[in-house]
Structures are given as C-alpha cells and as structure tokens.
C-alpha cells in the first residue's frame, strides 16, 4: 500500500515555534513507512492514542495524554492496555530517532496520522505535551471502558458514564466509538474475537452501517458474550450493540450510517478533544 506523505496532520505546523523544532513531516514519513511494512499496526496505534487519552477525568483533571505515562507501569500493565506494549515500543524507537518530540506528543501524532492514512479525517494536532519521568502520577485503573456490564441497560449506562467523565455528550460518544471501523478484537488479549467491519484497515462509516443492517446474534455458549453476523466473520461487542438498543444513542448511529462526511467531521472534533483533555499547551 502506498500512501502520500506530502501533507501533515497538523494544519498549523509551520506557524508554531514548537513545530519549527519538530519536523512532523519527517516523523510522518517514518510512521507511513511503518504502516506500509505492517498495516496491522495502524488500528493499534489509534488504540494507543485513545488509551493514552481516555484515562482523563474531567471530575478532578487527572490522567490523559499529557505525560505519556502509558509507557510506564502501572498503566502499561493495566488489563485493558494488554497488547499495546509492542506498538508503544515501535513508537519509542521512532522517538529515539526524533528526540525533539516527546513520547506523549508522538503517541497522539501517530494515532491521528494512522486515522488519516487509513482514509479517515485529518484530526487537528498540536505539540505541547510533556513527558512524565515515571508512572507515579498515573490515575486509578478504572477509567477505560468495559465491553460488557451484564445487561444492555447497565452497559449503556457504563458507556455514558465513561464518556461523560471525558466531557462528551451522546453524539460525541457515538462518533468516537465509530473508530471501531478499523481493527479487530483478539481473543488472546480481550477474550473477544473478530473485526467489526470487512475493511478493518479502512476508516469509514461502515461500522454504523453494519450495526444497522447486519443480523447480529449472541454467540451461543461463548464467554465473554459477543455478537456475530450469520457467517461469523464479523462481530460486535455488547457495548457496540447498546448504540442501537439505547434510544438516545440510536439516532446518531442512523445519522452517521447515512452521512460519512458528517461522521468524519464530528469524529475529528471529538478525537482532538479527547487527546487534548488535561493538556496545558501554554507552558
């Protein structure tokens, strides 16, 4: 797969003193090369950016992407971060090649770069995150969303609670979960198995179309419970299914299934927001 490298995910890179010191185009080219060698890493790097950011709490201002603490214990050892260590190690090598960028900034820049080169929107990006010296300031291991809380009502309430803590309303929540258009669940990591879409390395609104148009049935006798299409080539998590089961979430699934351009627009705004939560760019 060949990807153009003549653009930067940051629309204002040339205007900032920080960007003048950090060659984002050079780093982007290196990231594109990594993706071209191993396309499977694309969705994983998006997940790194998300997990590094989703530890934020607007209730006390702790957590988030600032500090890049996902490379340290305890965060690196959180169960929900299982499987990210190899991708983080790849990015740490990129940072060694480009020491002018912080680990914290690179984890987010890599994520937004992968979204773009997999066909998704350009997510605005700016430098300014600092690196923590260790994981001593990591938040509690209770911030990342769970796939199932036992029943649709409890699972929907959990999803809403997690995303409201991050500062998101229902529409933004649905937009962000639309990142499940790329990647797959791995049984050895989470117990769940399979991709959400037929094009797991292409960012699109296919996730929403599949939620609405595919016949989903819970897998008999499987623990944890997941939902599969008739041929069992695709899957949805219980936390995906509540987006069509919950009457407040459902309209936004419909909206994005019928309007990919709007989904891209809303996703870019929401993803920038989650990756900047808690970051003081003025220091």
What's the mean per-residue pLDDT of the chain? 93
Q: Per-residue confidence at 1, pLDDT binned at 50, 70, 90? A: very low
pLDDT score, position 17: 56
pLDDT score, position 282: 79
What is the average per-residue pLDDT within 101-114?
A: 99
**CA–CA dist 268, 279 (Å, integer):** 18
Q: Per-residue confidence at 224, pLDDT binned at 50, 70, 90? A: confident
Top pLDDT among 207 and 222 is at 207
pLDDT score, position 95: 98
pLDDT score, position 271: 99
| Structural domains of the chain sorted by starting position, each given as residue range(s) with its CATH number in brackets | 13-142 (1.10.520.10), 152-269 (1.10.420.10)
Share of the chain above pLDDT 90, in %: 90
Which single residue is written with the structure tokens 């299934």? 257
DSSP string, 74-130: TGGG-GGGTT-HHHHHHHHHHHHH-TTS-HHHHHHHHHHHHHHHTT---------PP
* pLDDT tens-digit series, residues 25-83: 999 999 999 999 999 999 999 999 999 999 999 999 999 999 999 999 999 999 999 99
pTM above 0.95, yes or no: no
Share of the chain above pLDDT 70, in %: 92
pLDDT score, position 19: 61
**Angle CA(149)–CA(210)–CA(159) in degrees, nearest 5?**
25
Q: Per-residue confidence at 223, pLDDT binned at 50, 70, 90? A: confident
* pLDDT tens-digit series, residues 164-211: 999 999 999 999 999 999 999 999 989 999 999 999 999 999 999 999
Q: Per-residue confidence at 220, pLDDT binned at 50, 70, 90? A: confident
Q: Locate 198 and state its tokens.
A: 């037929």
Q: Is 144 helix (H, G, I), strand (E, B) or coil?
A: coil
Q: Per-residue confidence at 15, pLDDT binned at 50, 70, 90? A: very low
Active site residues per annotation: 51, 196
**CA–CA dist 110, 24 (Å, integer):** 10
């Amino acid at each position: 797969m060949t990807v153009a490298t003549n653009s930067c995910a940051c629309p204002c890179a040339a205007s900032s003193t920080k960007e003048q010191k950090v060659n984002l185009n050079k780093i982007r080219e290196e990231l594109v090369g990594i993706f071209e060698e191993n396309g499977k890493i694309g969705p994983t790097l998006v997940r790194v950016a998300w997990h590094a950011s989703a530890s934020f709490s607007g209730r006390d201002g702790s957590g988030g992407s600032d500090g890049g603490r996902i490379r340290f214990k305890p965060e690196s050892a959180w169960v929900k971060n299982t499987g990210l260590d190899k991708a983080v190690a790849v990015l740490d090598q990129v940072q060694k090649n480009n020491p002018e960028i912080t680990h914290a900034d690179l984890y987010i820049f890599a994520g937004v770069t992968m979204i773009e080169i997999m066909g998704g929107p350009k997510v605005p990006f700016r430098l300014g995150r600092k690196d923590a010296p260790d994981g001593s300031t990591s938040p509690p291991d209770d911030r990342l969303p769970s796939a199932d809380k036992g029943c649709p009502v409890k699972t929907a309430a959990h999803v809403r609670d997690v995303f409201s803590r991050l500062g998101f309303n229902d529409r933004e929540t649905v937009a962000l979960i639309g990142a499940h258009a790329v990647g797959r669940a791995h049984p050895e990591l989470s117990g769940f198995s399979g991709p959400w879409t037929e094009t797991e390395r292409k960012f699109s609104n296919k996730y929403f179309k599949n939620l609405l148009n595919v016949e989903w049935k819970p897998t008999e006798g499987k623990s944890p419970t997941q939902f599969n299409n008739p041929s069992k080539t695709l899957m949805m998590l219980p936390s995906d299914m509540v987006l069509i089961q919950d009457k407040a979430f459902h309209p936004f699934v419909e909206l994005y299934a019928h309007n990919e351009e709007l989904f891209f627009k809303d996703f870019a705004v929401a993803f920038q927001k989650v990756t900047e939560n808690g970051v003081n760019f003025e220091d």
